[in-house]
Amino acid sequence: MTADDRRPTVTLGYAEFAPAAAGHPAGGPDQPSTIVFLPGAGVTRRMWDRQIADLPEYHRIAIDSPGSGRSFALPWESLDATAALVAELIERLAIGGRAHIVGLSMGADVGLRLLATRPELVRSAVLTGMVAIPVNRTIRWMQWAFAPLAGTALFHRLSAGALNLRGGARDEYLAESPPMRTDDYRRIVEEIFSGVSLRGLESVDVPTLVLAGAKEPRVARRSTTVIASVMPGAVAAVAPGVGHMWNIDDPELFGRTVRLWVRDRVVASGVMVG
């Protein structure tokens, strides 16, 4: 199969931000590189607004996953299908055709599948909140039953609130993308809660920091060590005092964690390795 054979016939929606024109902050990269931000399920690229603002020295691209935001017209198919769309975007838009990736929740799962299938496109990765171990049937059934609610206007408004969007930003978020499709939600839940596939990661040495918040369920924390035991380039760590959406709960720590790993391959102070 050639690269052209792999190229998707559709493309993801995204927002793109150029590196700061006034030069790089002290300790920043000598030459700009690209960071691609991968969102969780049921939200859009707007979940990364604070990180986009906090990392001005990088070329930043925040994507909308199929079924959300500017990609709402694309139905959700699978993690691998979404990873293929991200790969196409990196080849087309990233500086030098390669990028650092930052993903949370479903976005982190997509990042793992990108690493497994197209590792040559990834400079480094910061991935948090993954599920690499099958979740018990009761929780999966509850999520399946919850799916119709995920497609309601109420849930959509609650999602905007969870992202701390206020005023005009909240209105833009709600207007841009309709609520999530029930079928998309169920496909996502079924694949992720079965445990994201680690197939293909056995030989990937891309520097990858895999994290969970200290307040996340045990399955998320265990998943980091499982991934690190399979993937040679991965380091498992726990972020202190935070839950699943810690880019919102503690954006300062999250931004520092991303910058130090992407720039120096160093784990931020306070983040617990292992």
Q: What are the domain boundaries of the chain? A: 3-132+199-273
pTM of the full predicted structure?
A: 0.89
Least Cα distance to 34 among 208, 262, 251 occurs for 262
Q: pLDDT tens digit string along 94-103?
A: 999 999 999 9
Q: Where are the beta strands (DSSP E) in the chain?
A: 13-17, 34-38, 59-64, 99-104, 122-128, 208-213, 234-239, 272-273
What stretches in the chain show pLDDT beneath 70? 1-10, 21-30, 136-141, 143-147
Give the chain's length. 274
29-76 pLDDT per residue, tens:
557 899 999 999 989 999 999 999 999 999 999 999 999 989 999 999
Predicted pLDDT at 151: 75
| Cα Dmax for the chain | 53
> Regarding the domain with residue range 3-132+199-273, which homologous superfamily does it belong to in the CATH classification?
Alpha/Beta hydrolase fold, catalytic domain (3.40.50.1820)
pLDDT for 144 equals: 64
